[in-house]
Structure 1
Amino acid sequence: MRSPATAPAYYGPMNVPHSSVVTLHCQDRPGIVAAVSAVLARHGCSITESKTFEDRLNEKFFARFAFTGAGTDQGALQRDFDAVAAEFGMELRLVPADEKLKVVVMVSKWVHCLRDLLYRSQAGHLPIEITAVVSNHPDHRSLTEWHGVPFHHVPVTKDTKPEAEARLLEIVESTGAELVVLARYMQVLSPELTERLEGRCINIHHSFLPSFKGAKPYHQAFARGVKMVGATAHYVNSDLDEGPIIVQRVAEVDHSFSPADLQRHGQDAEVAALTDAVRVHAEHRVILQDGRTVVLR
C-alpha cells in the first residue's frame, strides 16, 4: 500500500474534463473548420477526434468534432456555436459525449438481437442505457429482467394497435429514452408513430435492402438463389423498409442452403449490423441529409 505521501493526488469531479461532440453540415465553403476550431480554442477545449466529409457532388460539408474542456461554460459555448452556424448557414448540434444514450428496445419472438444489446449494454461495450424492453409477446421477460431491465408486455392486434402505440410512447417518455430500437419487432408501426419517432428509431431488416423487402426475406432470397445474405439497419419512416440506411452487413452462402439455413446464417449479420448502427447513433456519428446518412467514423 502506498503511503499518503506517495499516493496520487485526488482531483474532484469539477476537475474532470467534460467530453462533448459537435456535428454539423452545410454548403461547402472555406473557413468552416477554422471557425469551429477558433470557438473551441477560445473556450480552452482540446479536440480529441475530428472527422470531415466533403460531398463534392452536392457541394455539402459534414463534420464531427469530439473535444474535452474542464469547466467549460456550456451556455457560452452554445452561443458561440450558434453564431458560427448562422454565419455559415449550417445545421449544428452540440451534445455531451460522456452520458449514455437512453434506449427502449422492442422485440417480438426472435431474441438474438435483443440478447446482444442487453449483454453489450450491461458490459459497457455500448454507450447506451436500456431503460425498457417492450414486446408484443411475453417470451423474453426473464432474460430482460435478469439483466435488470424493466420488461413491458404490450400485445398488439389490428383493433388495439392505436392503444399499443400510445402505451409505447408513454414508456419512451416516462423513461426519457432518446432512441427506440426495433430488434426484430415484427409489427409495422403506424405513419403517425413513425413521424413522432423520426430520426430516433432504428430497425434491423433481415435482408440487404433494397432487395427483399417485407415479410420472409430469407425465403425470397432462397427463391432467387442468392450467394450472399445480408442485414440492413436503417432509420424508420412511413415507407416500409425504405428508411435511410445506417449500416449493412453480408454473409456468404451457397446453393446448398435451405431457407432455414439462410436464416440461421444471416442472424450473425443482423446482430452485427444492428449493434454497429446503435453504436454510431449513440456516439453521434450519423448525420441525416436528404433521405441518406453520412456516418463519420
Structure 2
Amino acid sequence: MKVVLLKKLKKENIAKIAGLASITKGYDADVALVEDRIDVGKYRNLKWIHTSFVGVDVLLTDGIKKSGVIVTNSRGMKTPVPEHAMALVLAFERKLRDAFASQQNRDWNRITGGELAGKTVFVLGLGAIGLEIARLCKAFGCRVIGINNEPVKSKYVDNAALPGKLHGMLPQADYVVACLPLTDETRRLMGAKEFSAMKKSAVLVNVGRGPVVDEHALVAALRKGRIAGACLDVFESEPLKKSSLLWKMKNVIITAHCASRTPHYEDRMVEIFCRNLEAFKKGKKLINVVDKKRGY
C-alpha cells in the first residue's frame, strides 16, 4: 500500500506512517494524507483521503463527492477547541480585554467582571467538541442547552433539540457557542434574524466554521447594540482583512483560527491516521468516515 503525504510532518511521525505503508511522492498512491484540496483526477489508484482537520468543506470538491474515494477527518482530538472556547467565554465574562489594556497603560484599574455561574450557554452542534464544551460549562455552574442534527442525550446538556428549535431557544442564551461544520444548512445560520432574537446582553462565540455566521449582519448587530459582544476564532474569509471593522470593536475578542493549535495536535492527528491505516490494510471499518453528501 502506498501513501502520499500532502502535509508537512515531523520526522518521527513520518517514520510511524512509514512503518505501516510505503510513502510515495508520485501519483500512484492508494491513500492520501492532506490538509487542503487534492486533485483526485491525478491519483488513479486513490481509495481513501484523510484530512488533518475536522472541517471538510474545503476538501469536498465535486470531484471527490462524485468519486468512490473514502474521506475521513481528524475529529476526536477534542481537548484544545473546547478549552479555547471556554478561554474566550471567560475572557469576555471577566473583562480580561479591559484588564490587558489597563496593564499596557500601567493603570491600576480594579475592573468588575461578571460571573459565569448561573448563565445559560447555548451550544450549536453537540458533537464531540460541543459536548465537551457542555461538560466544561457545567463545571462552571452553567445551564446548558443545545441543538444538533440528531437527538442527543447527555448529563451535561439540560435541553437538547433539533435545529428547527433554534429561534425559540436563542432568547434564553447568555452565550451562544457555535461549533458546527459548514454545510448548505449551516452556512450563515447566524444572521440578522438570529441576532435580533438574542438577548441584548448575549455574546456570540464561534470556534467552528467562519461562514456559519453572516459577518456583515454580525457587525451591524454589534454596532447597533443588538448583542453585547462576540468572541471569534474563525471568519468568513481568512485571514481576516485588515479593513474589517471587527478588529477595533471593543466588544469583540479575536483569535486567528488557532483554537485547535497546540504542540500535540499533529501527534494526535497522526495517531488517528495510523489507527485507520492499520484498519484499512486489514479491510476493517475506519473511524471518522465523512458523509460526503451531508458534508461532515
Question: Over alpha carbons, which structure has the higher Rg?
Answer: 1
Q: State if a TM-score over 0.5 links the two structures.
A: no
